[in-house]
Amino acid sequence: MQQIPTRTVSTTTAVGGKIHVRLTRGYFQNLRRLISGPMLMMYFALVWVQIDGQPWLLFDFASRRIMLFGTHMAWHDLPLMAGLMIAGTCLMFFAAVAWGRVWCGFACPQSIWSWLFIRIETLTEGRAATRRRQEDQALTGTPLARRIAKHSLWILASLVTAMTFTGYFIPIRELVSDLLNLQMGLATASWLIIMSALTYFNAGLVREKVCTHMCPYARFQGVMFDSDTRTVSYDAARGEPRRGVREKGSDAGDCVDCDLCVQVCPTGIDIRDGLQYECIDCGACIDACDTVMDKIKRPRGLIAFRSENQQQNNASPVLRPRLAGYGMILFVTIAAVVYGFQNRNNLLLEVLRDRNTITHTNALGELCNSYLVKLEAIDPTIEQVKLTLQGPAGLYLTGPAQLTMEASGSTEQTYQLCNRDPDLPIRSEITFIADTGSDLVSKPGIFLQASH
C-alpha cells in the first residue's frame, strides 16, 4: 500500500532557534483543553487521594506493592500492568491509523506541559510578537523582571510536577513533610532535582525538539498512516494561488498568506508545505485559519482533518482492514486485562517439599514428608488464613490449621504430611488449600513414600 510521503521544511517563526508560539482560540483548542485539563487535574490530585488511610494510587517498590485505584497488587501482577500498557499502546496505534498524531497533539504529557509553559510565558512576557521583538534587545528593566518571573514560575511548576510524580512512588504526605522539615534523604532529593530539571528542560527550553528529534513516534508514524488516515491537511487546490487580504480575482485562492497557521504551530512548521513528520495534529492551525476565513467571508475548512483520498475527492471509508485489525487487537487486549483483574488473588501460596530428606518416620512409625508453606497477603486486611489438604484418605497434615499473618504481610510454617495407609502408592498427588474467607488459593504437590 502506498504511503503518504513526508518531508522536512524550514520553519519561519524561529528567532535564534527559538519558536515563539502564538496562542489561538477555536474548536480544537477547546477540545484539547477539555482533554488535557482533566488529565492535569487528575495527575496533581490523585496522588493525594487516600482510602482507609492507604493511598489510592501508589507504586511502592520498597514493599513490592502497587495500590491501583484501591486494588492491592504485587510482583506477580506485573503481567496485568504490562497488559494495561499494551492496551494503551494499541489505543494509540488505533488513533494514529484513524486520525494521525492526535495523541501527541491532545493528550501527550510533553505537549500538555509545553502548552502550560507557553501560557506561563505569555502571561509573564507578553504575546508571541512581543517576545519575538525582545529577542534582539538588551534584557534590562521590565523585560528582565518579566524574564526572571517566567523562569521562576517555570521552576516552581517543574518542582510541583516532580514532587507529584515522586508522590506516586513515595507517599506524598511523607514526602512533603520531609521536604518542609529538611529531613529528605539524599537519594530522594537527588531524584527531585533531576525530575525538576528534566521538566524545566523539556517543557520550557526544548519543547518541540522533543517531539521532532527525541520521540520515536514521530519517526515511525509514516508507517502507520495510509491514504485514509485523517490528519491536518491544507487544501492546496482551494487555497492556491495565495493572495493578499484585499486582493481579489477569479484566479486567486482563499489563502491570504497571513502566516497565522505558522505562528500558532507549536513545532513551527508551515502546514501549507504538505504533510511533515513534525506535525502533531493539535489543530491550532485549523482554528487560526477558520478565524481568518470567517473574517474574509469564506467557508471554513481550508485547513482541516482530511485524508489523502478526501483531498483527491475520492471515497474514504471510516472502517478499513488496518483500522479494524488494530481495533480487534485493542479489544482482545482489554478483554484479557479485565479477565486477569477479575480472576486475580489477594493471597500467594508457595509450598516447598524438603528435598534433602525424601521421607522420614515419625514416633508412630508412619512415613512422612516435610513441607515449608509460605503465605504472602497482597491485601493488608488479610490477617488469618486457614490451611487444609486434599489428597488420599490415608494422609493427614501435622501443623497449625490457622496461620496468622505477620506485620510484613507474610508468614511461613513447616508441616509434616504423614501416611496411615500402607497400601498407598509410591507417588500421590496432593493439594494444599489456603482460605482467607474471601479468597481460595490452591497449590498442587506430591507425596512420596518409600517402602518400610
Q: pLDDT confidence of 246, banded at 50, 70, 90?
A: low
Q: What is the per-residue pLDDT across 214-226, written as a single tens digit (0 to 9) for each?
A: 888 877 776 788 8
Other C-beta atoms lying within 10 Å of the C-beta of residue 231: 22
CATH code of the domain containing 440? 2.60.40.10
My answer on whether 11 and 127 are in the same domain is: yes
My answer on whether 353 and 336 are in the same domain is: no
Q: How far apart are CA 290 and CA 250, in angstroms?
A: 21
CA 230 to chain CA centroid, Å, is 24
Please give the angle made by the CA atoms of 75, 175 and 58, to the nearest 5 degrees: 25
Mean pLDDT of 128-139: 86
Q: Closest Cα to residue 446, out of 432, 402, 433?
A: 432
My answer on whether 312 and 359 are in the same domain is: no
* pLDDT confidence of residue 188: 93
Mean pLDDT of 293-319: 88
Other C-beta atoms lying within 10 Å of the C-beta of residue 223: 9
Q: What percent of the chain has pLDDT over 70?
A: 94
Which amino acid, residue 115?
Answer: W
Q: How far apart are CA 229 and CA 101, in angstroms?
A: 10
My answer on whether 395 and 291 are in the same domain is: no
Q: Which three cell numbers stand for residue 398?
A: 501435622
My answer on whether 337 and 362 are in the same domain is: no
pLDDT higher than 90, residue 108:
yes
Please give the angle made by the CA atoms of 3, 234 and 27, to the nearest 5 degrees: 115
Structural domain count of the chain = 2
Q: Which three cell numbers stand for residue 81?
A: 500492568
Please give the angle made by the CA atoms of 159, 214 and 96, to the nearest 5 degrees: 105
149, burial (CB in 10 Å: exposed 0-12, middle 13-18, buried 19+)? middle
Which amino acid, residue 19?
Answer: I
Q: pLDDT confidence of 390, banded at 50, 70, 90?
A: very high
Q: Which three cell numbers stand for residue 354?
A: 524438603
What lies within 8 Å, CB to CB, of 94 at 6+ separation is 323, 326, 327, 330
Residues 447, 428: contact at Cβ < 8 Å? yes
pLDDT higher than 70, residue 79:
yes
Domain range for 313: 1-344
Total-model pTM: 0.81
Q: Which three cell numbers stand for residue 70?
A: 484501591
Mean pLDDT of 205-212: 90
* pLDDT confidence of residue 65: 81
Residues 124, 144: contact at Cβ < 8 Å? no
Q: How far apart are CA 359 and CA 370, in angstroms?
A: 8
My answer on whether 337 and 351 are in the same domain is: no
Mean pLDDT of 225-232: 89
Which amino acid, residue 339?
Answer: Y
Domain boundary (288, 323, 344) is at 344
Residues 137, 143: contact at Cβ < 8 Å? yes
Q: Closest Cα to residue 102, out of 344, 94, 314, 360?
A: 94
Q: Which three cell numbers stand for residue 396?
A: 493427614
My answer on whether 99 and 234 are in the same domain is: yes
pLDDT higher than 50, residue 16:
no
My answer on whether 339 and 360 are in the same domain is: no
* DSSP per-residue codes, 183-196: ---HHHHHHHHHHH
Q: Which three cell numbers stand for residue 38?
A: 482533566
Mean pLDDT of 70-88: 86
Q: What is the per-residue pLDDT across 313-346, written as a single tens digit (0 to 9) for each?
A: 887 777 788 889 889 999 999 999 999 988 888 8
My answer on whether 44 and 123 are in the same domain is: yes
H-only helix segments in 281-382 = 284-295, 308-311, 321-342
Domain boundary (320, 344, 368) is at 344
- Around 211, how many Cα atoms within 13 Å sit in the side-chain half-sphere? 28
- Residue 441 has what DSSP assignment? E
Q: How far apart are CA 224 and CA 93, in angstroms?
A: 8
* pLDDT confidence of residue 11: 46
My answer on whether 433 and 320 are in the same domain is: no
* pLDDT confidence of residue 174: 92
Domain boundary (297, 329, 344) is at 344
* pLDDT confidence of residue 409: 82
My answer on whether 324 and 442 are in the same domain is: no
Q: How far apart are CA 324 and CA 234, in angstroms?
A: 27
Q: What is the per-residue pLDDT across 153-178, written as a single tens digit (0 to 9) for each?
A: 999 999 999 999 999 999 999 999 99
* Whether residue 241 has a cis bond before it, omega within 30° of 0: yes
Out of 313-317, 389-393, 407-411, 441-445, which region has the weakest mean confidence (pLDDT)?
313-317
Q: Which three cell numbers stand for residue 199?
A: 521538566
Out of 215-219, 252-256, 305-309, which region has the weakest mean confidence (pLDDT)?
215-219
My answer on whether 364 and 233 are in the same domain is: no
